[in-house]
Amino acid sequence: MTHQDRPFAEDVKALRHALAAAERRAATLAELAVLMSQGRDALALAQRAVELTARATKAAGAYVYLWDRDEERLVLRAATEGWQQGHIGQIRLRIGEGLTGWSALMRQPVVVDNDPAQDPRSKPFPELRESAFKSMVAVPIVAPGEEVLGVFSLYALTEAAFRSSDVSLATEVGSLLASGLIQAETLTQLQVQSTAARFLHDLPHNAWDSLPQCLRIMAELCAADLDADLCLLEVMADRTVAKGTVDAVYVSRRLSSTHPGISAVAEQDKAALTALLRGSDLSRLRIPLGAPAPIGVVTVYRFRRFTDRDVILLEAIGAQVAYGALSLIGAAGLRPLRDQLLEAGTPETTEAMLLGMGWKRRTTTTAVLRVRTTATADQAAGTDRVRDLIAETVRQPGRRVEILGDAGQFVLLAETPDQAARDVLAHRLAEVRVRPGVIVSVGVGELARTLPEVHRSLRHSATSAHWATLIESNGVVRFEEVAHLRMLPGTALAMSSSLRSYLGLLEPVVDYDLANRTDLAQTLEVFFAQGGSVARASETLFIHRNTLRQRIQRIEELIGHSPETFEDWILAGLATRLARQARGELEDSAAGRSPERSSCGGAIPDESCHDATSCQHADHAVGN
């Protein structure tokens, strides 16, 4: 070969090498595309990608690490044949840990041409014998939305073994793997939905003979779909009776062999079952049956940990179980007994429900408790403790107490032989203390000496609880204390329009008092209370009549006409009292004593403003 022919021969060699690399790349990508079209699962696709890419690049080793959302680790899921395969599922890396984790963190390829084990980013795994490798490539497996799904890596026994074409091939294989993983996840979701959709369809015909039988069969099918060793279904079948929970338990043979006697415990005592399993190595998954108004719960246990897929599947199955149970129970029977008692239409209905729950003819005191939390309190933590605290506070030996309800409202039925016992109960209810930020308002009804009278007492308890809530503090309101106020809300609404007009008219008076530290509103209230008599009003205020007339004249200048011309002095006096209370709240807010009650644009504070010193009305009132 002449000197002139040598460059041409080198170019031909390079072209042949590039052509061979392109052919290998095309064959690798084509086979992977076929595998994807066949719907191969993610692990099978990853393993084949490892084998094909290692052959195409002449790599001595290839790995696929996939991101495990549950463990928050990159986990080795595929490897070339040899000792590395024995460690699949055992090698775990955090994002950023090792060269593989660094590639995932930075979302870019890593190429190390000389002794990767000496790279400062490297993390040694002696069991993988990576010290024998002299060069490596790692590329992230990234979904279109930039979510890292894993890392694909290649290793060689020689230095600088990987060319740019090899890195490009690894990158394209990583993209194909990302698409395959997304496709596999979508397929998994479809399989979950299909399994859940067929859950009721697959029930045998005899499952619908009775609710207990239906639940037993559904528990067994649920355990099979979740590969669980124990499934417990708890459904509230009839809340008009004291013991309304129907339990269905399925225990696998595997669990029975490892925990002898567990089947008998599960059937007889849920508390004992929970205690027995608490110290075991079983994983537990528990979800409500049905939403947004659950009718029970389903709990499954197994030796392996549950995955996100299992959660999705159990939620879907739980909805099917709820539908199946409802078809046998009927929705009406699932309403809480608390609500049924409070909404019963007749005394006879209330009596029937009380008898159903075993409340026999005895003298009864009823109470309604409302639990509220401030913005900084944990509502669940507050309401969850109330039932136990009520029971501990009011319990008396030999006397029955029933506490019904949840979610912030409870109904209490207490056996109280006489009025003195009722008074003791009311005092004890006032002692219920939950935690800071949790407010318990209690309404106590009158003593009911027969079951039909409980119907009226419950309604009076609810009325009293409403008044207790208005107080906005922990406290007990007995019905006899507010019985005379029953018509007040309706009356207040009837006079609302006129009252609003008077309050608007009196705003300048309140503004003036706030700005000048005067008491014109008090003067006006006394004047109206004394029927417009200057003599009696001045005596009540301990001021001279001329002083009173001067104040009235000043009020006339502020509001535009004389208070003596008001048409309804009773309503005007009420408005004046409300305006005076508004002034007190504004002063407290400005002083920082009660920032939650202030004004927002008027003399009467509302709950929409949280800082009287910054709302427009406060600035105006204090600044003038």
Distance CA 67, CA 90 (A): 13
Of all residues in the chain, what percent are helix, strand and coil, respectively (each to 5)? 55, 15, 30
Q: Of 465, 468, 486, 347, give the one whose Cα is nearest residue 405.
A: 465
Return the pLDDT at 175: 76
Q: Which tokens sit at 190?
A: 């479809």
For tokens 């660094």, the residue is 102
Q: Are strands 148-156 and 135-142 parallel, antiparallel or unpaired?
A: antiparallel
Q: What confidence tier does 599 reach under pLDDT thresholds 50, 70, 90?
A: very low
Domains and CATH numbers, the chain: 17-190 (3.30.450.40), 205-333 (3.30.450.40), 354-486 (3.30.70.270), 491-623 (1.10.10)
Distance CA 524, CA 572 (A): 9
Residue 498: CB partners within 8 Å, gap ≥ 6? 568, 571
Return the pLDDT at 30: 65
**Cα→Cα distances 27→21, 55, 165, Å:** 10, 11, 14
Residue burial 541-569, b: 16+ Cβ < 10 Å; e: rest: beeeeeebeebbeebeebbeeebeebeeb
Return the pLDDT at 449: 92
pLDDT tens sequence across 548-565: 889 989 888 888 888 888
Maximum average pLDDT range among 296-300, 337-341, 435-439, 608-612? 296-300
For tokens 């309190």, the residue is 377
Contact 284, 273 (CB under 8 A): no
Distance CA 429, CA 457 (A): 17
pLDDT tens sequence across 417-463: 999 999 999 888 888 766 667 788 899 999 999 989 999 999 999 98
Average pLDDT value over all residues in the chain: 77
Contact 435, 385 (CB under 8 A): yes
Residue 422: CB partners within 8 Å, gap ≥ 6? 365, 416, 444, 447
Q: Are strands 475-478 and 438-444 parallel, antiparallel or unpaired?
A: parallel
Mean pLDDT calculated for residue range 24-40: 59
Q: Of 497, 502, 500, 493, give the one whose Cα is nearest residue 528.
A: 502
Q: Does residue 282 register a pLDDT over 60?
A: yes
Residue 206: CB partners within 8 Å, gap ≥ 6? 213
How many residues does this entry show for the chain?
624
DSSP code string of 120-168: TT----GGGTGGG--EEEEEEEE-TTS-EEEEEEEEESSTT---HHHHH
The rounded percent of the chain whose pLDDT value lies above 70 is 74
Q: What Rg do the C-alpha atoms of the chain give, in angstroms?
A: 39
pLDDT tens sequence across 354-392: 887 778 778 999 999 888 776 554 554 455 567 778 888
**Higher pLDDT among residues 29 and 394, named by residue:** 394
